[in-house]
Amino acid sequence: MRLLADSGYLLYFRESNLMARRFDPDSLELYGQEEILAAGVATSWFNGMAGISVSQSGTLAYTIDSYWRGQLRLYDRRGTLLKAFEPSGYYTNPSLSPDGSLVAVDKSDSMGELPDIFTFNLSRPGDYSRVTSFEGDDSNSLWSPDGEFLLFSRLRESARDLFRKNISGTEEVEPLHESGDDKYVSDCSRDGKLVLFTVRTKNPNPYDLWVMNLSDENKAEPYLNNMAFNEWWGQFSPDGKWVAYESNEAGREDIYVQSFPEPGNKQKISKKGGTQPKWIGGEIFYLAPDNKIMAVPVETSPNLVVGDPVELFGVQLFDRTRNNYDVTSDGRRFLVVGPAENRVASPIVVLNNWKSLLKK
């Protein structure tokens, strides 16, 4: 994330450090030496957002990244906290293994550092294993239906490509699909042959849904790619004949269900907005705008029949910009990444005349 202040400097981030370097807006050239203006600033490795603000009068305010720590928490359908897992950390995108014994998460050592993928054993606190080690960004993992592989995105150069890793072996990661656009896996068909993933294009509404056939040389093709709005977070129905997904077609994020593999038969199932659908058995779960977990009963045979959304319970989320919950295969427990209970709230640091801290 870069921030241009009207001050003759360009401010930008490297890991969790706020850097400053002289900048000529006429020639668009940098000159002089870069300097660390502030260390330990809270920044997100996913979208570049940072806890910082700069005024035209020369005041700089920022938050410290030690505050932004998440914790894995397990709830039942009534919202009763069953367990809070330690240690807390910089986690996002929890993905439960098919048998519910492990959870894969994106983990980094600090908010500004790029993540790798780890697995946690939910029955043995503190027992976790590193799945990937990469200088760049390995994230957004998804279990294969047999529990043997993790599919994930790897940021190389300028785009996130799709890879697969056997979690029980020592084999190298296997590339699945590469292109010039970012890609994020969201679901596998129950037979493990098809993968739904989101492609981030360069269009004004950049998110499209694609499908990849692992049994046909990883052939990938668009499923929903309407340039007028976004479609993402795709989830297969158990019988593979429908897909639930998130879209801003109606001017806000809502959850829809559409026929598969041929789209066309479509129905909106959220009433007041929704994100991050999960299709488990005969229910679709999603997050309402007020962070309530909703459940919608759905029948797909012989015809699609959708019930009314039912509120289950509200949650606190670590970071709503990413997937931050998952549901067990029986639909009875919910694993959520919430703010850590033992986090220490840091005060906002305010610097007046921040340019005076730099070398002349």
Q: Residue 73: left if φ>0, alpha if ψ -120 to 50, beta else—which one? A: beta
SS3 211: strand
Nearest to residue 127, comparing CAs of 86, 67, 182? 86
Longest dimension (CA), the chain: 74
User: What pLDDT sits at residue 171?
Assistant: 75
Both tokens assigned to 20: 């400053």
In the predicted structure, residue 5 carries a pLDDT above the cut 60: no
Report pLDDT digits (tens) over 167-198.
Answer: 887 778 999 999 999 999 999 999 999 999 99
User: What pLDDT sits at residue 298?
Assistant: 97
Considering only CA atoms, give the Rg of the chain.
Answer: 22
Q: What is the mean pLDDT of residues 10-21?
A: 78
> What are the beta bridge partners of residue 280?
283
Please, where are the H alpha helices in the chain?
A: none
| Per-residue confidence band for 46, with pLDDT thresholds at 50, 70 and 90 | very low
| Contact call for residues 15 and 113 (beta carbons, < 8 A) | yes
Higher-confidence residue: 265 or 320? 265
Report pLDDT digits (tens) over 105-164.
Answer: 998 766 557 789 999 999 887 788 889 888 778 999 999 999 999 999 998 777 999 999
| Contact call for residues 45 and 137 (beta carbons, < 8 A) | yes
For the chain, domain boundaries: 2-65+343-357, 69-339
Both tokens assigned to 335: 């694993």
Nearest to residue 167, comparing CAs of 184, 146, 181, 183? 146
Residue 313 burial class via C-beta count within 10 angstroms: exposed 0-12, middle 13-18, buried 19 and up: middle
Higher-confidence residue: 211 or 2? 211
pTM exceeds cut of 0.95: no
Both tokens assigned to 248: 């801003």
| Per-residue confidence band for 91, with pLDDT thresholds at 50, 70 and 90 | confident
The C-alpha atoms of residue 185 and residue 233 are separated, in whole angstroms, by 8
Please spell the DSSP secondary structure of 109-134, one letter per residue.
Answer: SSTTSPPEEEEEETTSTT-EEE----
Q: Does domain 69-339 have CATH number 2.120.10.30?
A: yes
User: What pLDDT sits at residue 162?
Assistant: 97
